[in-house]
Structure 1
């Protein structure tokens, strides 16, 4: 369960959120002080409804207490807006407990009440909340239709900034121009009403938009501005989610991602945002697993298990408090009408039966949710016990094939981008130098296109099932071709490549599979070689097998890394991303399909040796 992006800005009941910008703790403290001096019944109901909303991210029991109390008073005083406001808050609490159907039922009641009162702002707001619940149920069609319904009203209320922002976030099919339009509309309305919380939310939307367009530095700057503003106004709830956005931003750099994910969790823990703790810890766990430190993984898993157990206890308390409240209310109702005529008593008994039935259904629903939490705890225990087992190798052969493209073309693309950046930043180059750069770009693009076409054709063949295409291959020439692709990695580090495979050594095998393995092993050797180092390619053969070895002069690997090297979960080196684990796992898979085996070991006195053996003939 991951925290949905920007959800904290959109799901809360915003009809109570106007006024001077403050952190949530300050707002709760101020509202409690105000409550003691409120003498008007309607004002009192509005105040405790607001307290229920403010507590929804900190303590669901308190939020439920205040909102039910508000609903009871509003019902007794026949104040329909107070009842609708309370239903809106309770629906939010139910949604956060995973009780989506109950939440939708209450939101429908609130929508009907606000429509009868011609309260357009709250009609729009409840419709947006319903859209978010459908989004949680993965019904994107209903979610988007509800948001379009709000946008079509053309309302001038500040709530429209919420509608535009939600629509931009929920609709993954929007073009860049459309996304920019909705971001601008959100900013325009939020600025008009001085809605600082929404303006911070807009910056996170804009950061995501810039990141998708590849404008990475601009994206990070906007995200940094948003975080600075959240800290300036002491908006802890928004700072938590912005730190979580930083973790998503650095998802390919596990160390940085873990730092921000952990900071987000600690801030939530320190400020009592208990509802956010489990999803934040799940993020911390996922990034910790990428780093591969077994002790830290187990520590985080235990912390998550403890937190989930506490949440399960809170859920049971939540059930108990709600049932106890309803029983007390039912008893009071019985005592208040016990002296009425027999007809009234009959209706009372019918009402009690209906309430009891509702409570039984409610208890059963919460029991299901509780069982789900217990199941997750059991699953987590099994994961801890099985931590040292080898992860099951691959997803599906088809899914692994598509990973080749991203892994194989990253280096030449980076090289081409670097040349283009150099040309852009240095306009004083001579015509001859520019022509040389153009030639380099054209050659790299042509090489990549040729490789792309070959691999794409090969992938299309594999989609209908594995097909082996045997060719007579000169191994010396194969490594020369692979070296040309990896050379941009070697040149900046002044790495020397020594191809010691005799030109007469040939094998009968599948060229594309073998070249994929060669390119990846050379790329890894270049990545971990020191400046001025040498990469040596050698081979031995007997009557049946050819063994190829690629030796670098890096720092080698520890035993734990060696043992997990060819599994998808391996963290090969301190800076290796998840793609390296996939690539090495696929190398192993391909070599096995070629009838051989692949292994790695440390060289003496330093460095690593990656070797594979394949049959001389298919």
Structure 2
């Protein structure tokens, strides 16, 4: 679960303005209004540079636009500081886009210019930003050394509050006491300049320190007061980061973490902090996956895909704008050197080649970033496809089940209607024939009733589930009750029912579930028993397990049939076997819910034995 880090971006903005805290949107509007009344060219360049830096968190394309405009005007005016400030803006945009090497090159150029101008404040600021680039490149030692280099100057101006804060945030090896030391120094300098934005960032560092020490109550209280302060000063970007801190605080409570992550996303979306949408959505997706809600996961994945696709398009536009800018700059350089001597022209050609190589490297770098986004989108699409496949498999199972049930009702109904029609159209039938027809209708109706009961049990199981009600059950009596219910079937086929379960054997289980299984096993044994056959019910006890067996004297089954007995399949067999398959699959499910297992095998010399084992006690 990632967490946003606001201080890094503060380092890029604050050197251009300080004092009374204002929301970034308000600062942008104020600077744009001021721009209309600026008459002096130098002031105009400075104002454009400020706009470029203010826009970098909300709209990097606008930030790049103002940076390039400021650099072009500063070059024409031969205004070195304006050009260095513009390089600083452009380098910051390249850094945000992940183009660290290109950013490092421009920062280095700006640093050299500030040193020539003896602008010590901006020397410290750019040195610090270069340190951030090295940290992002994974060279922690180099980055921290650059921070220490600035700290060794002993300066106490506003930039130093950011240096101490950044050093504190980036150095994971600091002890708690050292961390508190740098927090105090940051607060002291920021307070002296009434820099409320940094003061709020300091409180975030204190929040992290309190969490590290395990002072969760104090940390939560501090976070709440800091959030209220950020809202008071309309610091939208800080509010987004503070809501992210709530997500970190509630990382072990996914529902609460998701609540604050969504609030952070909604605020970023509302205030157009587009650069934060993707990391926030990745955070939301991580916590949503913990919930296991497939619909919500797919919804968040779609939002993330959309944000990444939009960001990818913006990246392509950014590349085009920057290449176009470089091309224009190069063309201007060429035009300015046309009238120089041949030696200068040779140097120009070399510079063009170098510029071309740089552009190729730049394009290749952007291509790598674009491919990375594309791979992430493909991975998300694969997840959605897999989830759709799972839903399709479930839907196919339901369709097969409905087809089987429809067939079980349709066949006996057609037969019953045919018999009734035959009786109606032929009144000359004898009494014996009529009685035979009545018997057929009665058997068909009984079969449909049994199927209907099976369906009701299935629906009850799938939709509402059974409430497990354990009670002490005498197994001998249970089969006696089942035999009484099926007495008509036993008598019709003259089947002998032999209940050999000892009367003293009891089990603590759910009667409704167990009787459903007993009735179905006994009913199937009657169906497949020959006329005048015998069905034997036996029982054995081994430790805490009781095994019950129902044996008939039918023809038995082949191995393929046995392998499919306890599952529903569209290829199971006849209509009768369809109904048996549904009932037996439910028997298996019920026995498993009771903590047991069920199986079947052929008996010697003929017949089949269906058995189940359940615990004797709960």
TM norm structure 1: 0.61
Give the structure 2 partner of residue 127 of structure 1: 127
Give the structure 2 partner of residue 75 of structure 1: 75
For 2:389 and 2:183, the matched residues in 1 are separated by 47
Give the structure 2 partner of residue 325 of structure 1: 325
For 1:225 and 1:70, the matched residues in 2 are separated by 40
Structure-to-structure mapping, 1:376-525, within 5 angstroms: 376-387=376-387
Q: Which moved more, 1:332-341 or 1:196-205?
A: 332-341
When residues 3 and 322 of structure 1 are mapped into structure 2, their CA distance, relative to the original with a 3 A threshold, is farther
Give the structure 1 partner of residue 371 of structure 2: 371
Q: CA offset at residue 110 of structure 1?
A: 1.7
When residues 42 and 300 of structure 1 are mapped into structure 2, their CA distance, relative to the original with a 3 A threshold, is same
CA contact (8 A) 2:4 2:244 kept: no
Q: CA offset at residue 340 of structure 1?
A: 6.0
Q: Which moved more, 1:225-234 or 1:121-130?
A: 121-130
State whether structure 2 residue 279 is matched by structure 1 residue 304: no
For 1:388 and 1:151, the matched residues in 2 are separated by 57
Q: CA offset at residue 236 of structure 1?
A: 0.6
Give the structure 2 partner of residue 146 of structure 1: 146
For 1:377 and 1:38, the matched residues in 2 are separated by 46
When residues 259 and 232 of structure 1 are mapped into structure 2, their CA distance, relative to the original with a 3 A threshold, is same
Give the structure 1 partner of residue 99 of structure 2: 99
When residues 5 and 330 of structure 1 are mapped into structure 2, their CA distance, relative to the original with a 3 A threshold, is closer
Q: CA offset at residue 159 of structure 1?
A: 1.1
When residues 381 and 375 of structure 1 are mapped into structure 2, their CA distance, relative to the original with a 3 A threshold, is same
2:12 aligns to what SS in structure 1?
Answer: coil
CA contact (8 A) 1:114 1:122 kept: yes
Give the structure 1 partner of residue 238 of structure 2: 238
State whether structure 2 residue 227 is matched by structure 1 residue 227: yes
List runs of 5+ in structure 2 lacking aligned partners: 391-539, 547-590, 596-613
1:307-352 superposed Cα distances (whole Å, 9 cap, x missing partner): 1011000000001111122223334444566566656555544443
Give the structure 2 partner of residue 199 of structure 1: 199
For 1:146 and 1:274, the matched residues in 2 are separated by 30
CA contact (8 A) 2:8 2:132 kept: no
For 1:352 and 1:295, the matched residues in 2 are separated by 54
1:37 aligns to what SS in structure 2?
Answer: coil
Give the structure 1 partner of residue 36 of structure 2: 36
Give the structure 1 partner of residue 263 of structure 2: 263
Give the structure 1 partner of residue 24 of structure 2: 24
Q: CA offset at residue 9 of structure 1?
A: 4.9
When residues 341 and 170 of structure 1 are mapped into structure 2, their CA distance, relative to the original with a 3 A threshold, is closer
When residues 41 and 298 of structure 1 are mapped into structure 2, their CA distance, relative to the original with a 3 A threshold, is same
1:155 aligns to what SS in structure 2?
Answer: coil
Q: CA offset at residue 7 of structure 1?
A: 3.4
State whether structure 2 residue 272 is matched by structure 1 residue 284: no
- Alignment RMSD (CA, Å): 3.1
Q: CA offset at residue 3 of structure 1?
A: 4.6
CA contact (8 A) 1:11 1:132 kept: no
State whether structure 2 residue 165 is matched by structure 1 residue 160: no
Q: CA offset at residue 275 of structure 1?
A: 1.0
Q: CA offset at residue 193 of structure 1?
A: 0.5
1:12 aligns to what SS in structure 2?
Answer: helix
When residues 602 and 544 of structure 1 are mapped into structure 2, their CA distance, relative to the original with a 3 A threshold, is closer
State whether structure 2 residue 187 is matched by structure 1 residue 183: no
Aligned pairs, how many?
A: 408
For 1:541 and 1:7, the matched residues in 2 are separated by 71
1:538-577 superposed Cα distances (whole Å, 9 cap, x missing partner): xx9968999xxxxxxxxxxxxxxxxxxxxxxxxxxxxxxx
When residues 131 and 174 of structure 1 are mapped into structure 2, their CA distance, relative to the original with a 3 A threshold, is same
1:38 aligns to what SS in structure 2?
Answer: coil
CA contact (8 A) 1:8 1:237 kept: no
CA contact (8 A) 1:8 1:238 kept: no
When residues 152 and 346 of structure 1 are mapped into structure 2, their CA distance, relative to the original with a 3 A threshold, is closer
For 1:308 and 1:165, the matched residues in 2 are separated by 31
1:344-390 superposed Cα distances (whole Å, 9 cap, x missing partner): 55554444333333222222221222112112212222233345899
1:13 aligns to what SS in structure 2?
Answer: helix
Q: CA offset at residue 119 of structure 1?
A: 2.0
Structure-to-structure mapping, 1:46-61, within 5 angstroms: 46-61=46-61
1:436-465 superposed Cα distances (whole Å, 9 cap, x missing partner): xxxxxxxxxxxxxxxxxxxxxxxxxxxxxx
CA contact (8 A) 1:13 1:88 kept: no
Give the structure 2 partner of residue 564 of structure 1: none
When residues 36 and 142 of structure 1 are mapped into structure 2, their CA distance, relative to the original with a 3 A threshold, is same
CA contact (8 A) 1:246 1:257 kept: yes
For 2:542 and 2:90, the matched residues in 1 are separated by 76
1:21 aligns to what SS in structure 2?
Answer: coil
Question: Which entry has the higher C-alpha Rg, 1 or 2?
Answer: 2
When residues 543 and 250 of structure 1 are mapped into structure 2, their CA distance, relative to the original with a 3 A threshold, is same
Give the structure 1 partner of residue 497 of structure 2: none
Q: CA offset at residue 55 of structure 1?
A: 0.7
Give the structure 2 partner of residue 355 of structure 1: 355
Give the structure 2 partner of residue 315 of structure 1: 315
State whether structure 2 residue 223 is matched by structure 1 residue 212: no
CA contact (8 A) 1:312 1:373 kept: yes
CA contact (8 A) 1:308 1:377 kept: yes
For 2:343 and 2:168, the matched residues in 1 are separated by 56
Q: CA offset at residue 120 of structure 1?
A: 2.1
List runs of 5+ in structure 1 lacking aligned partners: 391-539, 547-599, 605-612, 614-618
CA contact (8 A) 1:9 1:197 kept: no
Q: CA offset at residue 49 of structure 1?
A: 0.7
CA contact (8 A) 2:3 2:245 kept: no
1:221-264 superposed Cα distances (whole Å, 9 cap, x missing partner): 11111110110111111111111111111111111100111111
When residues 267 and 166 of structure 1 are mapped into structure 2, their CA distance, relative to the original with a 3 A threshold, is same
Structure-to-structure mapping, 1:586-597, within 5 angstroms: none
Q: Which moved more, 1:3-12 or 1:22-31?
A: 3-12
Q: Which moved more, 1:302-311 or 1:366-375?
A: 366-375
For 1:541 and 1:353, the matched residues in 2 are separated by 91
Q: Which moved more, 1:148-157 or 1:273-282?
A: 148-157
For 1:340 and 1:112, the matched residues in 2 are separated by 27
Q: Which moved more, 1:198-207 or 1:107-116?
A: 107-116
Give the structure 2 partner of residue 562 of structure 1: none
Give the structure 1 partner of residue 400 of structure 2: none
2:92 aligns to what SS in structure 1?
Answer: helix
CA contact (8 A) 2:11 2:162 kept: no
